[in-house]
């Protein structure tokens, strides 16, 4: 019955959307946007903030008469322009329950500090503040909170799900083949164990402590008494509006923004669209690699070797593109797809400067494709490294033989011709073959890193093994070159291209068809709303389990993938 209703609401949503298209296209205004003097920009941060610009979401927001949604890269470009724009007087940030990683927040914090350094105050309002929201907001000049609002600040934790118990009940067994010394390679661990390994627990704890120390250091630089804050959350991580004010977490309690007679307001997305592009022929390409690395083509929330290689080749052929920023936000995935992308990046780097900008995560396969870059920039909270390889396959002999009473009778010309059967565990001989293949791929991974980073092979051996690092730790180990974000990498790309004036920024890969992508986005929102209505407060857990379970099909073949912790 639930499947029926899900399908029904999906079709209904698509039908209503088509009606909105017809009505919306007729009502979209075409007036040119003008930027007035003494303008205050309004930035609305709510929901998922992605790195890659998507025309579909702008298309959908425009049709529904909603504020335009900017990607993180576009937001950073807009704030950077506003810092130098004499017409811009101030910025106001209206915060909802935003979803982004700590590295992305650090980039926005830097942009806010630059605005304030140029004499442009940044005021922030939210009804409630989560820890991430507060971390970003404290970079601002003045924080407002609703009288009935709360602030949550509880430190960092990670709770990866483990599925072996469920697989045992189903009669399914996972077989994990890791690189021979990959004790930290933990992405496949939840399918072979009931609890976390000591090595994985140790590296996660190191990662959490490194990121949290950075958060406290930044908040201390914002004139916050972090010692008192850290002591308070030992017993109570929730602050009422009055307690938050007394603790110095916020500056004022208010129902919305204070009264202001100024009418010179402008949405940041409108401001960005109204900015004049540089008139010259010089270009900088920004290639956004965001999501899991998968084989095939298409770019709807994932990195596919077909689409990204095509984009890299296209950029290489563009004579007016003087340099490239490769923005990576990925935990990795398919080893084969990662290697195909690496080849294209390496070829591109022989003809144009390639500067890598790491987002929230650029680990395992995400680090593999970064290795050929001339310079790598990462934020302190970026998750990177995880130089390691694994293979994962499943057999269901108990389910097939005992529960279902089904048994195969393989006949073949060679001993291993039928080695991978669903109802049979792989033989020791087949496991040895798979181990050899994984080790060969792991050895190549280390060779790629040693050559790309100009490190001794023994040094790479010591820092590999699947170990995950924060950006600040990776900088000390030589895995990255500079601490910084997207704008820092973009500035360096201009320098290496020999450009003295700002160049035109061109994003790759190309967007999908706006209508097709917008329909997919609307369908996803409808499904999420339906699950929330059906399962109530359990919807978030259901979606997390469903997401992990659905990801299993992407684990086929040899993997360069880091465990996602969703910090």
Catalytic residues: 185, 364
Distance CA 352, CA 374 (A): 10
- Cβ–Cβ under 8 Å, residues 485 and 493: no
Distance CA 145, CA 319 (A): 51
Neighbouring C-beta atoms of residue 348, cutoff 10 Å: 23
Q: Which class for 121: exposed (0-12), middle (13-18), buried (19 or more C-beta within 10 A)?
A: middle
Distance CA 230, CA 249 (A): 12
Count CA atoms closer than 13 A to 115's CA, side-chain side. Answer: 29
* Residue 463 CA to its chain's centroid (Å): 24
Question: What letter would DSSP give residue 161?
Answer: -
The pair of structure tokens assigned to 147 is: 């009288």
The DSSP code sequence of 449-461 is HHHHHT--HHHHH
- Cβ–Cβ under 8 Å, residues 397 and 425: yes
The pair of structure tokens assigned to 300 is: 């709807």
Distance CA 247, CA 229 (A): 8
Write down the residue that tokens 């965001």 correspond to.
290
Give residues with Cβ within 8 angstroms of 150, minimum separation 6: 128, 129, 238, 239, 240, 241, 244
Q: Which class for 542: exposed (0-12), middle (13-18), buried (19 or more C-beta within 10 A)?
A: middle
**Cα 245-267-70 angle, rounded to 5 deg:** 95
Cα distances from 281 to residues 80, 275, 312, 319, 320, in angstroms, run 21, 17, 20, 10, 6
- Cβ–Cβ under 8 Å, residues 490 and 353: no
Give residues with Cβ within 8 angstroms of 22, minimum separation 6: none
Helices 102-117 and 72-84 cross at an angle (nearest 10°) of: 10
């Amino acid at each position: 019955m639930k499947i029926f209703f899900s399908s029904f609401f999906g079709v209904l949503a698509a039908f209503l959307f088509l009606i909105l298209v017809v009505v919306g296209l007729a009502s979209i205004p075409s007036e040119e946007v003008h930027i007035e003097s003494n303008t205050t920009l309004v930035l609305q941060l709510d929901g998922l903030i992605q790195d890659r610009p998507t025309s579909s979401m702008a298309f959908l927001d425009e049709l529904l008469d909603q504020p335009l949604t900017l990607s993180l890269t576009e937001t950073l470009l807009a704030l950077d322009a506003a810092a130098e724009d004499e017409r811009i007087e101030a910025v106001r940030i209206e915060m909802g329950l935003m979803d982004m990683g700590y590295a992305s927040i650090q980039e926005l914090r830097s942009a806010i500090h630059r605005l304030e350094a140029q004499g442009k105050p940044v005021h922030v309002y939210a009804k409630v503040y989560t820890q991430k929201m507060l971390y970003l907001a404290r970079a601002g000049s003045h924080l407002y909170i609703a009288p009935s609002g709360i602030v949550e600040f509880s430190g960092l934790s990670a709770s990866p799900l483990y599925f072996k118990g469920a697989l045992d009940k189903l009669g399914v067994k996972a077989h994990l083949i890791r690189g021979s010394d990959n004790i930290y390679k933990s992405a496949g661990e939840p399918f072979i164990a009931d609890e976390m390994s000591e090595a994985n627990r140790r590296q996660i704890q190191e990662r959490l402590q490194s990121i949290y120390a950075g958060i406290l250091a930044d908040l201390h630089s914002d004139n916050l008494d972090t010692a008192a804050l850290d002591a308070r959350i030992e017993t109570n991580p929730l602050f009422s509006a009055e307690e938050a004010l007394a603790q110095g977490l916020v500056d004022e309690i208010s129902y919305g923004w204070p009264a202001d007679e100024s009418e010179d307001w402008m949405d940041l997305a409108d401001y960005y669209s109204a900015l004049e592009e540089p008139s010259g022929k010089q270009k900088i390409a920004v290639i956004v690699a965001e999501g899991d690395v998968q084989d095939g083509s298409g770019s709807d929330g994932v990195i596919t070797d077909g689409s990204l290689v095509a984009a890299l080749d296209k950029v290489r052929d563009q004579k007016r593109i003087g340099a490239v920023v490769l923005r990576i936000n990925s935990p990795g995935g398919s080893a084969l797809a990662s290697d195909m992308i690496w080849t294209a990046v390496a070829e591109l780097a022989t003809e144009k400067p390639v500067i890598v900008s790491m987002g929230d995560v650029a680990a395992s396969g995400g680090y593999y494709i970064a290795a050929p870059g001339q310079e790598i920039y990462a934020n302190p909270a970026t998750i990177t490294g995880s130089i390691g390889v694994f293979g994962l396959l499943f057999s269901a002999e108990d389910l097939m033989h005992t529960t279902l009473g089904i048994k195969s009778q393989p006949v073949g010309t060679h001993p291993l011709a039928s080695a991978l059967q669903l109802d049979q565990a792989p033989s020791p001989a087949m496991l040895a073959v798979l181990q050899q293949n994984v080790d060969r791929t792991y050895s190549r991974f280390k060779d790629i890193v040693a050559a790309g980073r100009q490190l001794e092979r023994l040094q790479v051996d010591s820092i590999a093994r699947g170990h995950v690092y924060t950006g600040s730790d990776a900088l000390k180990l030589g895995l990255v070159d500079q601490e910084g974000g997207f704008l820092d990498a973009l500035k360096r790309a201009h320098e290496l291209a020999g450009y003295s004036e700002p160049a035109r920024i061109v994003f790759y890969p190309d967007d999908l068809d706006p209508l097709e992508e917008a329909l997919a986005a609307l369908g996803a929102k409808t499904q999420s709303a339906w699950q929330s209505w059906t399962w109530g407060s359990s919807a978030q857990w259901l979606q997390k389990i469903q997401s992990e379970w659905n990801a299993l099909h992407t684990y086929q073949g040899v993997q360069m993938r880091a465990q996602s912790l969703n910090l």
